Amino acid sequence: MQRRLAWMISLILFKRKCDLCGEEEISMYEPNAPFKIYCHKCWWGDKWDARDYGKDVDFSKPFLEQWNELFHETPILGLSIDTITGELSPYTNQCGHAKDCYMIYYSDHNEECMYGFQLTNNKMCLNSTTVLESSNVFDSSNVFKSYNIIGATSNNRSCLDCFFIRDCEGCHNCFGAVNVKNGSYVFMGEKLPKEEYKKRLKKIDLGSYEQYYFWKEKAYEYFKQNIPQPRWETQSYNSTGSYVFKSKNCTECYDVTGCEDSKYLMLIKEGTVKNSYDYSDWGLNAELVYESGIVGENISNIKFCHESGFNIENIEYSKLQTGGSNCFGCVSLRQKQYCILNKQYSKEKFFELREKIIEHMNKIPYIDKNGNVYKYGEFFPPEFSPHAYNNTFANFFFPKTEEECKKDGLQWYQSDVKEYPITILASDIPDNIKNTTDEITKKIVGCSTCPKGYKIIKPELDLSRRLNVPLSRQCPFCRIGDKVKKWVSQMKQVDRICDKCGITFKTHYSKEEALKIFCQPCYRQEVY
């Protein structure tokens, strides 16, 4: 998994000129990265053919070394977005079908969503992660099919008009509630008459930064006094992992939906995925996927690939392959078949040469500087990744120091972003969103967590006003990064002993995260 994640860019974006049209665009690649980078219009356009960069196979040196040379010569897509998203939401990455969105990542089918990760089919979500089919969501994580949710954490499904909730389902009008199922008018754990609940809520103004964080901290302290739901799974059978939905016979899978007979999957969106192994991100109708990352949408028999999809089959060792079949070791091909290192072959020659290459990869494998051997069957080496290790999701899961990266032959990014002169401290932003004028969008705000300055954009200000929530005092990278770190902490399994029946079971909650915990049957008996 570490190898795949070392290719998975995290949250950073750069400005870089397109190497075809010359326009300055947003890119996931550093300005000095040694690649040909095309903007989304040029890459998806018809002014070039990736086969023009095709190479003959050289059986005197490792095949992966030749692939890496091709990778550096063939134009690649600066941002993984479709053309519609590029027009309507250019400041996003690894996104599709986004309208009026800003700085969201690994997300699909969203509208008016800002500063988020893993958002799917949502509208008006701000500063949130892992939200599905919901609207009017702020400062929340793990929210599913809900409306008007503020400050929620952990797991909440089918809820309405709720504030600071955890592990709630089918609830409405709750404030500071935990483990409530099909309930309403709960305030800090106390069930109230409807009118009393409304009276208490009228005294609270969550548009005030001071009040918002007072109540958030108070609610989260209350949460610690209550057992958490040990696992969240819906309509799943014989499966292990965390956040496994509508799946069966899956082992060690995390944040997946609609998977069958698979192992070691992560971040798989709904749309059946079958018989796959070591697969990170995307999904949407896939089968026989092995050792691949960011691949999906009607794919079959995909091995050792990255950022590829949309009706492909029988593809190996390729990046940015869209459409087509039977290709091996290619980069940026669209709707092609029977290609090796981007060179076109006949069907007969392709299969003949493929067998020779596999034999060659086993006889003359690629060996990295630490002596790791890469024969046929291994994903691309991390040192081939176009991204600095500290800018990838690998660093969230498997942190390394700069010295360790250099020792392992990995890139390290040292920020040389131009320091914008800070014109207002975060602490000097008006406390209440009601008292915040449009003038704030002209300021450079000093992040309360890191030394960087950032701007508050007008759509963010407008959405904060509509939701009556305070402006963040953190820069985008800090606020999204904190949520991603929380998500990463859930992508694991540890053994715990049920504090009620004494059996050993698996959960993502460590002792530090939940001192007291029940197994799933005991939890359901206690709560439902």
Q: What is the 3-class SS of 246-263, one letter each residue? A: CCEEEECEEEEECEEEEE
pLDDT digits (tens, 9 = 90+) for 450-463: 999 999 999 999 99
How many whole angstroms from its chain centre is CA 506? 24
Q: In sequence order, what are the residues at sequence separation of 6 or more whose Cβ sits closer than 8 angstroms to the Cβ of residue 244?
A: 233, 236, 250, 253, 254, 256, 259
Q: Are 127 and 474 a contacting pair, CB within 8 Å?
A: no
pLDDT digits (tens, 9 = 90+) for 350-364: 999 999 999 999 999
State what percent of residues in the chain have pLDDT above 70: 99
Residue 210: other Cβ atoms inside 10 A? 11
229 pLDDT exceeds 80?
yes
In a domain, 162, yes or no: no
In a domain, 507, yes or no: yes
In a domain, 511, yes or no: yes
Radius of gyration from C-alpha coordinates of the chain: 24
d(CA 84, CA 90): 9
417 pLDDT exceeds 60?
no
List beta partners, residue 4: none
Q: Are 125 and 469 a contacting pair, CB within 8 Å?
A: no
267-303: burial string, b at 16+ Cβ within 10 Å, e else? bbbbbbbbbbbbbbbbbbbbbbbbbbbbbbbebbbbb
Rounded alpha-carbon distances, angstroms, from residue 306 to 84, 252, 383: 22, 21, 15
pLDDT digits (tens, 9 = 90+) for 132-170: 999 999 999 999 999 999 999 989 999 999 999 999 999
In a domain, 168, yes or no: no
> Nearest to residue 408, comparing CAs of 394, 419, 427?
394
390 pLDDT exceeds 60?
yes
Q: Is 449 left (phi over 0), alpha (psi -120 to 50) or beta?
A: alpha
Q: Are 137 and 125 a contacting pair, CB within 8 Å?
A: yes
In a domain, 63, yes or no: no
Burial (CB count within 10 angstroms: exposed 0-12, middle 13-18, buried 19+), residue 371: exposed
pLDDT digits (tens, 9 = 90+) for 51-95: 999 999 999 999 999 999 999 999 999 999 988 898 899 999 999
In a domain, 424, yes or no: no
In a domain, 218, yes or no: no
Structural tokens at position 373: 């051997």
Stretch 471-484: mean pLDDT: 96
pLDDT digits (tens, 9 = 90+) for 253-279: 999 999 999 999 999 988 899 999 999
Query: Domain tally for the chain?
Result: 1
37 pLDDT exceeds 70?
yes
Q: What is the pTM of this model?
A: 0.94
> Nearest to residue 340, comparing CAs of 324, 318, 311, 309?
318
Q: Which helix (H) or strand (E) holds 357?
A: helix 347-363
Range(s) of the domain holding residue 521: 494-527
In a domain, 504, yes or no: yes
pLDDT digits (tens, 9 = 90+) for 103-139: 999 999 999 999 999 999 999 999 999 999 999 999 9
In this prediction, residue 418 has a pLDDT band, given cuts at 50, 70 and 90, of low
Stretch 376-397: mean pLDDT: 97
The number of residues in the chain equals 528
